[in-house]
Amino acid sequence: MQVETSCISWQGATDPRGYGRKGKGTREERYVHRAAWVRANGEIPEKMQIHHLCGNRLCLNVEHMVLLTHSEHTRIHAYEKWQPGGALRERDWTR
């Protein structure tokens, strides 16, 4: 997976994990990257998570995001810990 467009970085507030937030409250929908995904692609199915292909948690470019299950998401991050970028080369996550 090649990320060919550039990141659109959120300039506002972030939460302790480094994700962009807007407004108050604790609902996940307030995460700005989730809001950007919903605007572009519609509702996020229950239990699916957004992964940033670009690794930039503040990025709002939906071309840089893929939906993964929790287990896939955990796996890709565990894999990337010991081989940065490796998981992206191994599989085209947009398919």
Query: Which residues of this chain interact with Zn ion, rule CB under 5 A?
Result: 7, 51, 54, 56, 59, 61, 64
Q: Which is nearer to Zn ion, 24 or 63 (CB)?
A: 63
User: What ranges make up the beta strands (E) of 1-95?
Assistant: 48-52, 65-69
Largest CA distance in the chain: 38
Token couple for 12: 């506002």
Q: Which is nearer to Zn ion, 34 or 51 (CB)?
A: 51
Compute the least distance from the CB of residue 47 to Zn ion, in Å: 15
Compute the least distance from the CB of residue 30 to Zn ion, in Å: 18
What CA–CA distance (Å, rounded) separates 62 from 33?
A: 8
